[in-house]
A and B are shown apart, each in its own frame.
Chain A
Amino acid sequence: MSDSIFVQYIWLVPAVSLLAAVITAIAGNRWLKQQAWLPCMLAAAFGAVWSALALVVVAQADEPVAFVPVLEWLTVSDLRVAYELLVDPLSALMLFMVTFVGSLIVAFASWYMAHEEGYARFFSEVALFLFSMTSLVLVANLLMLYVFWELVGLCSYLLIGFYYTRPCAAAAAKKAFVVNRIGDFGFALGIFLIWVTCGTLSYRQVLAVDQGLQQLTAAGPAVLTTVCLLLFCGAVGKSAQFPLHVWLPDAMEGPTPVSALIHAATMVTAGVYMVARFTPLFAQAAGVGTVVLVIGCVTAFIAAFTALTQTDFKRILAYSTISQLGYMFMALGIGTVAGAVAAIFHVFTHAFFKALLFLGSGSVMHATGGELNVWRMGGLRKYLPVTHWTFLCAALALAGFPLLSGFWSKDAILATVWQASGAATQLAGAVGLITAALTAFYIGRAYFLVFWGEPRDRAIEEQVEHYVRDEAHGPPEPLIMKAPLIVLAVGSVLVGAVIALAFGGLVPFLAGAYGVEPLAHATAEHDAHGHAWGMMLLSAVVALAGLGLAYVFYGQPSPWPDRLAEQLAPLYRISVNKFWLDELGLILVVRPMLAIAAACRVLDNVLVDGLVHAVAAVPAWFARLALRPMHNGLVPFYALAMLLGLAVILTLVLFQIQGG
């Protein structure tokens, strides 16, 4: 397989993105102007085509794992870090997802961001983002993984803070960066521990059963567990898991295509990918699986519960992302190849419908003039037909409507969790089902509130009507914006069914990434439960019930929501206030940190600076006392001083000669 040019030159995919970023950064503002999106678009489209071909090559190969050496990055005694790429089913699938969804988002953004200040800057940063993410899924070395992990964090910081003149956007960008830093700290420690134990950071050795894995297990049970927990810590930050998920809702301050990019194609999927990549380690580490499972479970439930009552359109979607990521970690927590495959399956389908949901919300925001409160919208389906239909597809896919993509992947996760042994997994399965109902309900609520009924706000209605009528800014739904929506909608509807029915799920394909032995194991496991029909039926019923309830509550004017909010006031308050997690974080983490920082500042100002100033004052004092009077401006005096100095030196030299 490694002799195929699509595998050999796979590095072209990130390289072209990097090139596009550089070109746009240099030429964007001066020469490209409104064409600044083209380099980024071309790079992303090229990446999508190339990685699709690579995916086909990988799928047809007998031995679907290839290491592609590209260049040496650094060599320090034993430490060799190469920019070496690993092409296997897992990375090829992720690469295709990132570039394909990414290119659609870029196309949409070329319309959405038009006439924005910093058009070129936006696309330069997006191209850099794509470069970082494609490299992240391809590299075959933990240190390189960390480098691109951080680059992804940097790009998200830049893009969330795109409107950096707005204080809230700047604060959100900073929050995302700082919260991610907490996770990355653990991640870095994990990498150090692997280096200390195994003496190598290459996947080739670390993941090999007879090398790194053996060394880690031999070093004692605590070592492997610690490594896995630390790696998971990084994933918790990057993939917005409880309790580090607080940055993701705030990240909505960025432009909407950025939200789509972060939530669907890049950034948050990095954590899932990393844990899936290291599943061989996680499978051996005792107790870590349960931690992952519980965190995922808690995250899924808390986020879904919070999304029930949010009024900010994009925030509902943000909490839904967190919730879906929770699902993925639930599956990863099982610690088997089947679990990892189910998680990656969900990542894949989720990318389609979540990108679509965000792009749809972007279209709505343009029509309503940036309004985000779902209670002020309504009846938008007659103004924005394409947005409405595609959003409906995505919403149904997210809700797990039978036969749509979200249904298959969510079912795969729930079935995997349900059939794993242990009381914790049974409980997690139950929570997963409840969360599925909540998911269907909140996304139905958002959909009905925005697109159904009558406009609730006169000003917004006028704005929308004006937007649809007024052709000055172009048609309300031009082709460049419709096309990505439709492609994503087709993906949201079909992708799951195609993978599940035509290819018999991702298990036979992805198991190749984990070597031959797990393949047999996973296939056996897969055959054992096949498609869990019972679970399918159950989740379908749950999803339909959630959607039906949402229709009853929000499909037409109804007294039920208010009445229910009154009767279940405590629950309602918990949900509206997001479990007070932000406030809790403020009291437990931010305030103490600020206090420590203030103390440090005083210490720095008084003690450290005082010492430095004291030391610095000595020469000044000496100079004032002794040297300043010597500079009296009298040329004869200077000459005399020179002569005397010369005399002294000569005398010394003479004595030296005589003495020697």
Chain B
Amino acid sequence: MSEEIRNNQNQNSSENEYSLNDDRRVRTLSPGALVIRRFIRNRVAVTGLVILVAMFIFSFIGGAISPYKEDQLFYTYNEQKKQYASIKENKEIRYVSASKNSFPSVAKAKCVMAIKKDEDTFEAKKIEYKLTKESDTLYSIYGEGDELVAFATYDIISSSTQGQDLPFELQYEIEKTISAGGDGFEFDGKSYTVDEAGTVLEGENEIGYASRYIVQAIMSDVFLTRSFKDQLISHINDGKNEFVFTDEDGTEAAYALTYDAGSESWNVLQTVETKVFDTYHSPTKEHPLGTDKNGMDMLTRLMYGGRVSLYIGFIVVIIESLIGVVLGGISGYCGGWVDNLIMRIVDIFYCIPSMPIIIILGAAMDAMRVDPQIRMIYLMLILGFLGWPGIARLVRGQILSLREQEFMIAAEATGIRASRRIFRHLIPNVIPQLIVTMTMSLGSTIITEATLSFLGLGVKFPFASWGNIINDVNDTFVLTNYWFIWIPAGVCLLATVLAFNLVGDGLRDAFDPKMKR
């Protein structure tokens, strides 16, 4: 106070001279204004207040003007090379059999030996087979009763129509024509022509083709067209490793060709674009803090997380203070057995270890699959219900000491009602201490909530909270590589709690009339 007067004296002395008992000489300030002045003079506390205001703007206004929603997912296109087909030049004899069981694999093995030894006959499974060499690339195999069971060739004959195989006899005729170097044949009353490229035509229609290359699609539902195969083969023969194919509908697709020396075959890789969640994307213009593990915008999550943390902090502290002030007030004012009873209850609650209890309840809520929204309400209630004893003790202590002071005796002596004594004289004197404690416990409540959310027992997905954002560091890869996920949330948390504590500290000093600077 004395300083106040001196300051004003200095100011006023330069302007006008007032007489000593002039009221204008001393500017009178209400106690509230004095507190505000003392608070403003405390630079550290004001810094805290500024941080708090910034955090509120960031969380509440920032969340509202952010272009994204709290749980909006972002996608990205991921280019993946998938194996599409494989192609191999045939250097081995292949067998085409009349029906599935007419030429078993034992016979195939015997046949190879017979071809190598230039023999005419071979025996497999007690069946005598006859081998006729039609040309260098074609062998006909006759089984029981001189019936043609299979032929062996280096060429592959494929049908031009999807899902329809050429009949065995027709294939045999085609192969015979090709190996003999002919250009046409008659089969089943129809005439066919075979051109140099191996294309088989029935009149004008292409029905099939023969080729030295085996081209197989990886997926069974993909049908490779003739022109695709031809272009592919010519690209491979040119030694290229990329290949762009335009199909009949005009759609272009790019393929990469890789040679696998082990199987002497070429792999055709198709570049496929897959839509995936844009997870852990580094900061960009659209996402200043990148995206998180679910592909959500980190900055927006951070804003909403701040909202949740501040909401929970405020509601918990309000619950705490309501219970604490009422019970502490009753206890302090009534005294006697009421006081004794309430203080024992306070003692009991003081002994209940709150963190473990909340962890157990959190785990239980996990087991019961409580809805995240309801869970948040439970969390606030539990935190508030476990936190009141400290405030009750404080209020009781204050009231006990205030009750004995002279101004209360004076108030009693003037004969005003009890309710007026309590609300007009007692409560206003408790409020400064209460505000300081509430501010400080806001900070600690936010830490508790964040710790629980960090452990996965507090606020749950899809809701964001600063704690559960940092939860991602449990994955060491995130801890190491994605700083933008967890450092900003931690800094926000630290800044907010620190600001609450600074403001609380500043208020404590400002409220204390004995404080001298």
- Answer yes or no: do A and B interact: no
